[in-house]
């Protein structure tokens, strides 16, 4: 089993990466593989709203790595997305990536557990947490929680290492993710059927 993590911070080795590595150490203890994908150094364009992905199951834009990430999602069993807090919201890079990823490759993430992580110097993390969780909740993905909101505070890795409660929350999140992945695998092996309703779309403007 494998968890795909995305560091949505333009800082490759900042607080978000520290948070993901903290969780990764727990997943490793639990026998779960993980990979951290960095948006740092990437120029990620926003969604064009062209509809190309609906018919072709890939994004029409090919100058960045969104299609590559989408393909990786097919092989992953769970996901963790981390973002710093910018104006009480997710980073622009992560927003552009997730918008296009879920349009073009949503099927590769469906029914697989997801978790959100937010970092901040001081405040705004709950808006980030909410932003990311909305992607999971529109795509049939179980949301993995901890014993508190998945926030970590600090303006640097050195400061974040002093957030003992934040680190505790992240470690518990790692254990909970591992537990859910193992439980879902047992359910699949037992033949438990997942029922899917036929999708219905309505538009109230006539």
- How high is the pLDDT of residue 14? 97
Q: Cβ(171)–Cβ(30) under 8 Å? A: no
What average pLDDT is seen over the chain? 96
As a whole number, mean pLDDT of residues 30-43 equals 96
- How high is the pLDDT of residue 113? 98
- How high is the pLDDT of residue 199? 87
DSSP labels, the chain: -EEEEEE--S-TTSHHHHHHHHHHHHHHHTT-EEEEEE-TT---PPP----HHHHHSS-S--SSSHHHHHHHHHH-SEEEEEEE-BTTB--HHHHHHHHHHHHHHHHHHTTS-EEEEEEESSS-HHHHHHHHHHHHHTTT-PBP--SS--EEE-SSHHHHTT-HHHHHHHHHHHHHHHHHHHHHHHHHHTTPPPP-PPP-------
User: pLDDT above 70 covers what percent of the chain?
Assistant: 100
As a whole number, mean pLDDT of residues 11-16 equals 96
- How high is the pLDDT of residue 65? 94
pLDDT category of residue 70 using cuts at 50, 70 and 90: very high
- How high is the pLDDT of residue 204? 84
Is the pLDDT assigned to residue 165 strictly greater than 90? yes
Q: In 3D, which of 182, 186, 163 has the Cα closest to residue 174?
A: 182
- How high is the pLDDT of residue 160? 97
153 pairs with which residues across the strands? 120
Backbone dihedral region for residue 51 (phi beyond 0: left; psi -120 to 50: alpha; all else: beta)? left
pLDDT category of residue 201 using cuts at 50, 70 and 90: confident
């Amino acid at each position: 089993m494998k968890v795909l993590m995305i560091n949505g911070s333009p800082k490759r080795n900042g607080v978000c990466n520290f948070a993901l590595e903290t969780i990764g150490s727990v997943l490793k203890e639990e026998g779960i593989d993980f990979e951290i994908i960095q948006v740092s150094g990437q120029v990620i364009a926003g969604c064009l709203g062209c509809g190309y992905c609906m018919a072709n199951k890939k994004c029409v834009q090919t100058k960045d790595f969104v299609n590559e990430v989408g393909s990786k999602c097919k092989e992953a069993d769970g996901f963790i997305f981390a973002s710093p807090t910018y104006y009480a919201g997710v980073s622009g890079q992560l927003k552009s990536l997730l918008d296009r990823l879920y349009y073009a490759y949503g099927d590769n993430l469906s029914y697989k557990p997801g978790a959100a992580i937010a970092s901040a110097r001081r405040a705004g993390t709950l808006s980030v947490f909410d932003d990311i969780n909305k992607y999971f909740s529109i795509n049939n993905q179980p949301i993995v929680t901890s014993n508190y909101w998945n926030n970590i505070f600090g303006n640097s890795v050195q400061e974040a290492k002093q957030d003992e409660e934040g680190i505790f929350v992240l470690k518990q999140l790692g254990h909970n993710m591992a537990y859910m992945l193992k439980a879902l695998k047992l359910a699949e092996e037992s033949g438990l059927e997942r029922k899917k309703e036929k999708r219905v779309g309505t538009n109230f403007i006539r």
